[in-house]
Amino acid sequence: MAKYKKKRVRELQQDRFRDTTMSVLDRLGNLLEGRGRSIVYGLLALLLVVIVAGFWVRWSHRKSDEARRAMGRAISIATAPVASSTPAENPVGPTFSNERERAQRAIEEFEKVAAKYGDPYRAEAGYFIATNLLYVDHNKGLSQLAELSKSSVPEVATLSKFALAQAKEADGNYDEAAALYSQIAGQNSVVVTPDTANLRLALVYQKQGKKKEAADLLFNIVDAGRKAKSADGTPLPPSAAARAASEELQKLDPDRYAQLPPQAPAGDLAF
């Protein structure tokens, strides 16, 4: 008898669950009655959005890969060797008789990238076009670098300003170059680090005859590099800019160089 009661209780519970479920389904059906077509259309629209989004992501990745390959081809031309009196045997990639010829060919390739792809590739291509224009049409190259130094792509803006500063320095416009290097140093960018910008600024100061200003900058670069430590307190290896600054300071002002803290032993550096 007890077993029968338990069995009956289970049956009643199952019936209650079925009745409750059916009641919910009935109410849902009544709620959706007359709106089935709208719901189906809504579901189809949602499905279409998902499908389009999937295609867009795949297309975007494919387009990015295509743009990177196009940039790679253009960069390989821009960095191709210029033929010397004793050209290398079996050279890999194109070679050019002079820098102007190479620059013109590179500009053509970068212009294709700029015309076909959006940012950041368009802005990056613009930077390479401007730097190569310095060999073909110097003033136009300077003008384009100045414009790109205001780019909305931060890396391109910083690199363009640095290239413009280098061009001004090469042209002997030291005041303009120094101003640009100072601006870059103040940006604290990882693309052109403050040490790199300050090193160039110190070299410009030397050309201007400002020995003390140059020595102060070089000292600060090396001093900070030798005191730099990792999160666990291990001394960090000096950057390329710090090593170059050390060599320049030793030549420029040996007495000031002697005031630097000692370099941490190589075994203690964190690599």
pLDDT tens, residue by residue, 24-62:
445 545 544 555 555 544 455 555 555 455 544 454 567
- CA angle, corner 116, sides to 110 and 120, nearest 5? 70
| Rounded average pLDDT over 191-209 | 97
Average pLDDT over residues 152-171: 95
Whether pLDDT at 170 is above 80: yes
CA 196 – CA 260 distance, rounded (Å):
19
Burial of 212 (0-12, 13-18, 19+ CB in 10 A): exposed
Q: At what angle do helices 154-170 and 138-148 cross, to 10 degrees?
A: 140
* pLDDT grade for 119, boundaries at 50, 70 and 90: confident
- The predicted model scores a pTM of 0.73
- Tracing tokens 């990745």 back to the chain, one arrives at 61
Is the pLDDT confidence value at 68 over 80?
A: yes
